[in-house]
Amino acid sequence: MNPTLQTPEEKSLIQTKLDELMASCTKSSQEESDFIRKAFDLANDAHMGVRRKAGEPYIFHPLAVALIVSKEMGLGYKSVSAALLHDVVEDADYTVDDIRFRFGDKIASMVEGLTKIDGVFDKSQSKQAENFKKILLTLTDDVRVILVKLADRLHNMRTLDAMPPHKQFQIASETLYLFAPLAYRMGFYAIKSEMEDLSMKYYNPEAYKEIKSKIEKKESENKQFVNDFEHPIVKKLREAGIEFEISSRYKSVYSAWRKMENKHIPFEEIYDLFAVRIVFDPKRGIPERTQCWSIYSLITEIYRSKTDRIRDWVGTPKVNGYEALHCTLMAAGGAWVEVQIRTYRMEEIAEHGIAAHWKYKETAVEQEGELDKWLREVKENMSNPNVNAMEFLDNFKFNFLAPNIYVFTPKGDQRTLPKGATVLDFAYDIHSEIGNRTAAAKVNYVLRPLNYPLQSGDQVEIITVENQKPQREWLGYVKTPKAKSLIRSVLRSEVKEHGKRGRKIIEDKLKELGIQPSARTYRKLINAYAQTTKEELFCNVGAGLLALDDFDKVIRENTPQKLVQYWSMQLGLGARNNNVKNMRRELSKKQGSQKIDRKTPYLIKETAQDEEPSFIIADCCKPIPGDEIIGFTDEEKTTVTVHKKKCPEASRLAAKYGDRIINTQWATHKVLSFLVILEIRGIDRMGILRELTDIITGQLNVNIRKLNIESHDGIFEGSMELYVHDVEDLNILIDRVKAVKGMDFVRRVEV
């Protein structure tokens, strides 16, 4: 049989999946069901004979995406149809116009939004960033495109085993960088958690396996504990006549790992490893928030509440629309347990995110919710799609996907800003003119500078000065795209004025010398005064930043040959290079002659041949031999920068520059030493410092670069910077240090 054709077994499985899809679309009319079947027929025909990396017929993928859209997101027939058709234009001989003719403008628009960029784009930019930018811009038109894309990415993550390692890392990094936060912001917590876990499986596999195993073991051991904890709650709520369901869930692997990393604690010290959820049917005529607090009152008659851990997301819903009352209760034996209280309406919004949010908006008159505000702000701030794709992506992630903080004006008005926002961001969030005239601010009645980072709960009073105006360095003070855009707008107008003034100054000087302005004249001035463009020359002269010393001499002389001769001699270039730009181009060609092959794993050797590409150890994570690593080439592909696979910067780079990923492996290193940092803590006693140094330098022959120890209240803590050959040596050292009497904690710092 032709391997490209579908086997009888595959045809049967495809039909089963289609039947499952149709059964999930319970609210579709007959006409809408026929519409979905029509979309399936076209997709099946378009992908006929094509197989995925794992070997199954390609139609399995759009069917799976459509099922996620229907069953896990709760979207309607148009979204399901777009999911079935999402790869047709990109991978088959169909155009957007073909889709429009068969399915109408809306489906065609959605499919076009889901189709990757092809053809001409800015080669200086990452194609990944350009594609992300195109997808994100659909938020201003039809948010369902983003939701189908999330479903597409989720299924790709579920089937990532079939991809080569460098693609696994790239796709996992993209998912963690952009798609998981986007799923969370859209209200799909379960999808966000699964994306995070699947990403971690590929970029930090050892930690993933270890934590997953521990969670499964805990879940098995804790069944009786959970039953004992829930039993009196069930009895109490039934006595109160409340209709409810109670269940428990454990933290995701990624969530547990993040807590361990952020709190610097082992797995065994995570006290909120699982949560109990109470979902109830509210009584009519009583506010849902009141009923949530009533249930809280009932269960705290049984268990003591940790009051500083109460989170009232009913009174103040999260930006993604999430509502619930969270509390932490002490169970028998002293263990803390998180309890979540919510109505069935809140539960559906938590499970189906934005789709459920809109469903309930259609049946009730209500004020604009946090999710509506977020979408409105996204649309308002994405009105200029012509910005650099990389900048666009970073701005979107920071401004719209980062956690929020809530700060207040002196009158008590609440403003929502992304975490990391500064005093100056706050000023521009109030009004552009207030931002432009900001001189300082008082945060909680204390005078603070413009770049002071704000925290949730801060009260901010902006101090303005009439003659103040934005400075170029302000761009480094702000984090939000809104503030940056407003500052740049003012600076651009000033640059324009500086440019006009500078052009006039130069033209007047040329006129005095009796010389007509020409391209050759300006090139001479640009080279002589180390400028890159004519506009930069005019602007710096007009702003008073560039003095035109020896102007007469520069104009009357030929191109500065001494400079050319110097660079030619340094670079070994020919005399034909008459400016620095050409020299740089030639140097790049010379250096780029040795390229890196992405198909063969790059081996990091202790000593490399002269003609081989060099490697650089990344400062952000400082990997050592034995660490799981990934490499990234520079633009010329002559140097490989080596990161730990779990390094956040590596994840960010992979999400943006997937074409620069290099599978990288350590060779044996026993000559070179690598810097590591250890955190230590223990019970203070006489002689412990001498004992530590004897073990490290005397017994293990490890060089200590720096040792910092502080003692207080009978406890010592500090850090050590050491040089080791590899992870094996480091693990031996850590085990020996842990064995020292009184030692409580030894951990490698993941810088």
The residues carrying an active-site annotation are 90-91
| Dist CA 643 CA 422 (whole Å) | 30
First vs last Cα of the chain: how many Å apart?
A: 55
CA angle 468, 472, 473 (to 5 degrees): 95
| Dist CA 478 CA 426 (whole Å) | 9
Contact predicate 328/309, CB 8 Å = yes
Place of tokens 């010379």: 590
Number of alpha carbons in the 13 Å side-chain half-sphere of residue 602: 28
Name the residue among 108, 137, 66, 39 with its Cα closest to residue 395.
137
Strands 664-666 and 743-748: unpaired
In our burial notation (b when 16+ CB lie closer than 10 A, e otherwise), range 629-666 reads: bbbbbeebbbbbbbbbbbbeebbbbbbbbbebbbbbeb
How many Cβ atoms from other residues are within 10 Å of residue 387's Cβ?
A: 16
| Dist CA 305 CA 338 (whole Å) | 10
> Rounded to 10 degrees, what is the CA torsion of 537, 541, 544, 548?
110
| Dist CA 616 CA 418 (whole Å) | 34
| Dist CA 681 CA 709 (whole Å) | 9
Question: Would you tell me the crossing angle of helices 481-512 and 534-542 to the nearest 10 degrees?
Answer: 90
Contact predicate 687/743, CB 8 Å = no
Q: Which two tokens stand for residue 639?
A: 């140097």
How many Cβ atoms from other residues are within 10 Å of residue 268's Cβ?
A: 10
Name the residue among 443, 439, 438 with its Cα closest to residue 427.
438
Contact predicate 89/115, CB 8 Å = yes
Contact predicate 298/322, CB 8 Å = no
| Dist CA 638 CA 633 (whole Å) | 7
| Dist CA 641 CA 614 (whole Å) | 9
Question: Would you tell me the crossing angle of helices 189-203 and 344-362 to the nearest 10 degrees?
Answer: 110
Contact predicate 669/603, CB 8 Å = no
The torsion angles phi and psi of 131, rounded to 5 degrees, stand at -65, -45
